[in-house]
Structure 1
Amino acid sequence: SRMLALLEEYLEVKLFLRTPGKTELTESGVILYQGVVDGFRNIEAAIHEIRARSTGLETVTLSVSTAFTTHWLMPRMHKLQAQLPNIDLRFQLISGSVSGSVEDVDLGIRFVTGEDILHDASLLLPEILVPVCSPAYRKQQLESPNNDIATTLISLSDSRIDWFELLPNFHLQAYGTTHSLVFSDYAVVLQAALLGQGIAIGWLNIASHWLETGSLVPATPTAIATERLCHLVHSRKKPLSDAAKQVREWIIAETRHDVANVAKQYPELKLDTFLAKNL
């Protein structure tokens, strides 16, 4: 506190508003704080560059969901390492709905509506939702005319999308009574669907790999696009490294390739209609 008082004396401004039990930054204090944060960020970037020069490896940190990492990235990690051998990935993982700052990472996947003045954004694809299940579950549970077993709907606890909003008549008119499984981690939601435990809402940017391989199939010939768009974003305060740009372009290319194949495999979903409006 003595050093801060000396700094205030030197600058001839107050950096803090001090009240009993509480200290807040003044406007000048906020300016100084942001400058210090930016300075440390630049130092960190310089350290990463020095390490990259000495080891030949560059590190890219992603802020993504555990579901994206588990169900989309891991099945093709060997391909990334083969195509970008000098890049190591680190992860800031989010178990539920993706949100939060990307100030401390290189890239983050976020769903965006409207203009975002704080970030540069590269479009992956629209937010497209498809009810998905395992092929065996669809055959035994949904296609059997004499099946009286209740359908199980698998959901993400903090999702802004639920079954009643997505398909209000799906659980009543189509398949009668229902049970539910609710998880706080979307990786577990998809894993439960893969294991034949029920029907999950499939975010196409995550479930596309399993739809393409046939491990998951549409539970009903329905796809819904929301008003949100899925982007790879980064802070405008932190320019992207060449390595981060390569990772960004690789993720975009792989995602578009997946979705194009899914659209061909399941024309009943009419995905081309949604994609043509945005891509």
Structure 2
Amino acid sequence: MSWATRLRSIRTGAESRFPVLTELTGRLVSGNLLDAGTRLAAQAFLAAVPLLFALAAFAPLAVRDQLRESLRVMFGLTGPADQDLQKALDQATADGVRETTGVVGALVALVSATSFSRAMARVCERAWGLPKAGTRIAAWRWMVWLLALVVVVLLQAPLRDGFGAGGWLGLPLYFLVSTGVWLWTQHLLLAKRVSWLPLLPGAVLGGVATTVLGITARLYMPAALNRALGEYGSLGLVLTMLSWLIVVCAAITFALTSGAVLAQEPPLDRYLGTDRGEEASADAEALQ
């Protein structure tokens, strides 16, 4: 038996024994996981992050303080990195941003940031093998998702503290909220083309990924950011944040894609209403 024949036999056996892994591998390869994660991270860094600070410049002082505290909690910021964050959100910087950009500039930043929404929508569509939704249907969803994302970021500090109860409540609460956010994100950006229940596996995996990376960020990012600032200045800060965003976005892409595959393969497909065999039988009966 030749090596080619033997490899084909092994592949055929693997496909029959592990259909979920085979389907997942094919979906990840066709969706280009690393490329999708990198593109998503780039759009987050170039569009969504500037939008966050632009909106903060027009927000009341209490909102800016809340944003500063939430970002500090998210990344465990200390030392030089924390000082830079305070400068970016202080009153003088906010006044400068308002004078430079104005309301029109903030609206332009909001429209530009929809590139991040579009990239996230494309991740969801590739995970489920769906075509792009029409702009007329999806445009308002991009805006709503962005504004909801800003609210989620603002609430990070009280959420992770369990609204005053402490981390023992904050951690499970953060996981539940993250799962709910990814469930709603998929349903919204897929334009309701997939019902709620099949989206649950991807939402749970997304919640797990977000929670684990949230804990990891507080352990890794403070030292990494301060070291990068000390050695390379602002450029080091940019590279460190972009590298971290790539990890986060790749993990989210993997989680949503894995969830879509799990929802459409045995045994979950029977419970989530995505059994392809039953759908095929129903279509055949309808044609008769």
Same fold flag (TM > 0.5): no
Larger Rg: 1 or 2? 1
Higher strand share: 1
TM band (smaller chain): under 0.3
- TM-score, normalised by the number of residues in structure 2: 0.23
- TM-score, normalised by the number of residues in structure 1: 0.23
Higher helix share: 2
